[in-house]
A and B are shown apart, each in its own frame.
Chain A
Amino acid sequence: MTEAASAIMAPAGGGLLPLPVLIPAAGVLLSFLLGGRKAERVAFGLMAVQLGVAVAIASLVWRSGEPLVYILGGYGPPLGIALRADGFSAAMLIAASLIMPAAGLYARVNFATPDEGEKRAPLVFWTLLQAIQAALGLIFLGGDLFNLYVALELLTFAAVPLVSLDGRPETLAAALRYLMFALFGALFYLLGVALLYGAYGTLDIVLLARQIRPEPAVWLAAGLMTAGLLAKTALFPLHLWLPPAHANAPAPASAVLSGLVVKGSFFLLVRLWFDVLPALPVAVPGAILATLGSAAILGGSVLALRQERLKLLIAYSTVAQIGYLFLMFPLAAGPWAAEAFSGGVMQALSHAFAKAAMFLSAGLVAESLGHDRIAGLGGAGRAMPVTFLALGLGGLSLMGLPPSGGFAAKWLLMKASVEAGQWVWAVVMLAGGLLAGGYLYRVLKPALSEQPLRLKRAPLRSREYVALTLALAALLLAFAPPAFFAFLQIGRPGAGLALR
């Protein structure tokens, strides 16, 4: 224990780390117990606390300049479980703590709690929203691969019922398909965990990273876990479940699912390849992942171009935008690695905000017009300008135009791929940006036309501003100072990433 323990032992300030899991978990239990009106209040109260904790964790990471660690139960790894927060986790934690309450504020209309008694949809929504928050908290902070398996399952059990919340047959089918992919993903991940434990007798990320050598068990485990996590992240060709699930869920749930939930399994992929398996040569698997990512960018964008419904279009654009995330993997080794990593993280963050904004806007469009057929959007932009402003600003980030977080992300990734001599990714990104411009044009052109349009009911101002705020946050990421990128590197093994 001695040598291992010294590197794992908690520096001061780690004591906050269990809270982002425990607070929403307690919220789930309380909301379910108290039911009725109280579920919503519990959720909002605790989301405020969660945001405070996330900010506190981030500032502690920032000040100490190294990852925070917390050991649960006093049993250090390998026997016990450790939680860790590095720059990446802290950034994702804050993003989640901001987007969740935004989706919640928006959802107050959809899932208003009845004055008396209890209704099905509100109770389920407010309970599961907090469950997603707990699951994401654990995914971002977990330091043990089996503990992270539990987090993955938490995420599945929280997300699937949200998809089928309105009970229409299409949503039931979408939820089932989602569940099947998620179960497949979790089982394959778990199988990899079993093999790693069999080979090294520990599941702690730091301890594993020190021992792992390229050998058959490790390669197979890496392959299985990657396949499982790709299914949950919906990377092409395992994306089939995503469009129906995200397009059919209620808008605030779609925002959370598309903006945050798929990032959970992506986050674990980054953990796996960057923190658990740095000893594996990354060139070939990285190229495979990036090739799939490129296929997702092009295929997803083309499919988005062909959709007739706004929510489906946005869902397919998620398929495409997920593709960008995987371009960081082949660039993980070399002097450009830090840039590529920052670009990938930036893409995850900016897409989270932009996509949440767009789904909320699409929800407003569907509610105000009574449908979300793109052909019937004529004049909608003039009738509800704030909504379409949010939609457009979110789209800016998807296209990668300045000033937006998406621009910063794509610029960094492109720069890294050019420096690495891997031009092909840069070309794919340019093409993806053009295609994104195409599908957004399809939406915005009719919307901004002069056609007269009568809304079934006008959208609530407050809800429009929630969407707009999220879109502005995606924009604001473009102005992230260099210090922010330094922050993201906290916990990375050296700026250049000692990878072969």
Chain B
Amino acid sequence: MKRILILGLMAILVMGIYNYAVYDPYQKTTMPFEERDSQAYLSRSVNGDPGEVVYGKSTNLENGAANTVAAIVVDYRSFDTLGEVTVLFISSLGVAFLSGGFGKTIRLKHKPSFLLQYGARFVFGIILVFGAYMFLHGHLTPGGGFPGGAIIAASALVLYLGGESSGEKMKAFKILEGAAGSLYVLSGIVGLYFAGFFMQNVLPSGIVGHLFSAGIMPVIYILIGLKVGSELTGILDYFMREEVSS
């Protein structure tokens, strides 16, 4: 009974929101796409109209990434992404804090089968490379630093499943994580002191669609990828460990 009631409440809530904010048959409260801010991202015309942007031809755009979403994430609204990275960072810190430090790795109850044990090592490299591809190619195709990092972490997960233990490698991950994060912020500060704005795209943007095109974007994606990868791996690792009894 109680549950039905609550379900009803939720329905009323959904109806309320939908009815008064979303449902808009006459387009009264909906801004047409053409007038939204995001149009400027599509046409790369935030700081001046460059005319029609053509794949493989346009050069010296304010942002040379073919992937507009990536352009927004890493360039136009890169500050958000810094925050995003920070969220992940603080989550991993939180997991670390809650886990109470480095304990012994929890042994899985079952022994991994032969196929898993060796298959994991075999797949590990392939996944790793795929992850790297993801963040290197993020400004051109769907993907980017976060999926790339997650894929890298997935490769670590596969290794765990295969019975590997991370051991002392975590230290290195920590350093990687810290360094990548610091470099990200530093790149922003570099922009601030060399070009006048925090996180300014200081590198030249090449031709739209080329690998070396979007200025600092690929670099940042690499940093993000590394950082996210090491962070997620770290989180995984913390979950796999016992608490240090202190």
Whether both chains belong to one complex is answered with no
Binding site for B on A (CB under 8 A): none
Give the A-binding residues of B (Cβ under 8 A): none
